[in-house]
Amino acid sequence: MIASFRLFIAVFLGLITSPLLAQQLQTIDHIYDPKIETVLLFPQVSTNQIDPALTLNPPIISLDEAVTLQLEFDDLTANYRSFRAKVLNCNADWQRSVLNDIEYTYEYNDNPITDYQISINTKIPYYHYRFTLPRVKLPGNYLLVVYDERNRNNIILTRRFSTYQNRVNVAADVRFSSNPARQFSDQQIDMTLSYKGYQVISPQDDFKVIIRQNYRDDREIRDLRPTNVQAFDQVLDYRLVDLSNMMPGGNEFRYFDTRTIISRANYIDRIDRPADRNIAYVQTDQPRNRGVYIQSDDFNGQFVIDHRESGNGATNADYIETIFTLKIPEVSGFDMYVNGAFNFWQLNDRNRMTYDPLLGAYRASIMLKQGVYNYDYIVATTGPQPKVDENFIEGSFSSTENDYEIFVYHRPPASRADQLIAYKRVGVNKRK
């Protein structure tokens, strides 16, 4: 009896590691199952009808507000499968923390995903799943893990999200680079951090500040250190003379609209409708690395799922074979990719382009759910450690409209994990 009670306590406190926890997970946004598509994780204020535009917001919420995170994804096996979800705590560097489940969750940290619907009138059938994430106790970084209920080691997908509590104040300003050689191509983020009333031992060392552009984990500035410590006022200045607080401004993203297949929408050249699927050809693109900056509105690389006829993209939107064409001579020693949030900004076989000598252009075919998509083109050197260049095709301009996020992490005394104690979003070159 005593042994059974001790076993129960050990399991309850998370001292016995399950196969899922023991597995060496990549703490990144990733889809492991090739039949899973269109994974969305976004803040949701209520459980009413979802506004498609809400999915443009990053999965970052305040613990002081009545906001939850909503997960949605499609299973193209077209068969019901039992999935479960678990939340793992991570530090500022997105490595797993040593916290046990009970230290950051309010309830049992293993939830079934039971809300699902079947697609309606689509050539490619699928099951659409929804799951509202449970609230967590601590501000910080988390990894949502979805796995097969019948096999805990069969990971389906992982998504990053963060929760915060503003305990220090951040003021930031984004402008063109103070480096004369880069003032027309780069943007510079200057900021101050006020920690008045917040206990910290070594302010110049203890705060971990991260700046992210357009919600992209591949566009981050880390390891920033303050240039000035105003100890009396409890203020840190981040106005870096080494210009490590600069980023290329990039260009406005290209976009296309496939919310309807009845007619050609914006930037769609033609639509073929064979019996088994629909095929949409995006208008042929040209490089934009030469010439002047041209202003246009975009989603900063994101996308929105929608279906024009029904207004319900979740289950009425079909999957369309989307053909991208970039008219440019073949570039030796480089791989070409279609880049965007639809692929978590990752470069892999799904979005790699191939050169067609008959067309004199690069092409890629990607299965995408109906909606409005932002994208651009990116090159990477071939080899074991590829170097990525997004400006090679698109160019970079300091006049580009961008969103920046500032994350401030700190590990309080006696705490065993980094906490997100400040989060701020700031835009540059906003026009509306």
Mean pLDDT of the chain: 92
pLDDT at 116: 97
Q: Is the pLDDT of residue 12 over 60?
A: no
pLDDT at 206: 95
pLDDT at 243: 86
Spatial separation of the C-alpha atoms in residues 326 and 231, rounded to whole Å: 54
Q: Which residue is associated with the tokens 């979005």?
A: 351
> Binning pLDDT at 50, 70 and 90, where does residue 241 land?
confident
pLDDT at 317: 98
pLDDT at 63: 97
| Mean pLDDT in residue range 407-423 | 96
> Binning pLDDT at 50, 70 and 90, where does residue 3 land?
very low
Spatial separation of the C-alpha atoms in residues 319 and 36, rounded to whole Å: 12
Q: Is the pLDDT of residue 18 over 50?
A: no
Q: Pick the closest to residue 319 from 349, 277, 351, 283 (CA basis).
A: 277
pLDDT at 356: 97
pLDDT at 45: 78
| Mean pLDDT in residue range 188-213 | 96
Q: Pick the closest to residue 213 from 185, 242, 178, 187 (CA basis).
A: 187
Q: Is the pLDDT of residue 61 over 80?
A: yes
Spatial separation of the C-alpha atoms in residues 201 and 137, rounded to whole Å: 24
Spatial separation of the C-alpha atoms in residues 74 and 156, rounded to whole Å: 11
> Binning pLDDT at 50, 70 and 90, where does residue 226 land?
very high
pLDDT at 10: 41
Q: Is the pLDDT of residue 318 over 90?
A: yes
| Mean pLDDT in residue range 395-410 | 98
Give the bridge partners for 427, in sequence order. 403
CB 157 within 8 A of CB 28: no
Q: Is the pLDDT of residue 279 over 50?
A: yes
Specify the higher pLDDT residue, 147 or 243. Answer: 147
Q: Is the pLDDT of residue 345 over 60?
A: yes
pLDDT digits (tens, 9 = 90+) for 391-400: 999 999 999 9
Spatial separation of the C-alpha atoms in residues 129 and 133, rounded to whole Å: 13
Q: Is the pLDDT of residue 138 over 90?
A: yes
pLDDT at 6: 41
**Amino acid occupying residue 79:** N
Q: Is the pLDDT of residue 21 over 90?
A: no
Spatial separation of the C-alpha atoms in residues 185 and 391, rounded to whole Å: 10
Q: Which residue is associated with the tokens 């409708």?
A: 273
Report the 10 Å Cβ neighbour count for 56.
Answer: 16
Specify the higher pLDDT residue, 48 or 244. Answer: 244
pLDDT at 51: 82
Question: What is residue 243's three-state secondary structure?
Answer: coil
| Mean pLDDT in residue range 6-30 | 56
Residue 105 is given by DSSP the state B
Phi, psi dihedrals of residue 395, rounded to the nearest 5°: 80, 170
Exposed, middle or buried, 140 (CB in 10 Å: 0-12/13-18/19+)?
A: buried
pLDDT at 14: 43
Q: How many CA atoms lie within 13 A of 200 on its CB side?
A: 23
Alpha carbon 258 to its chain's center:
22
Q: Is the pLDDT of residue 405 over 70?
A: yes
Q: Is the pLDDT of residue 2 over 90?
A: no
Spatial separation of the C-alpha atoms in residues 252 and 390, rounded to whole Å: 12
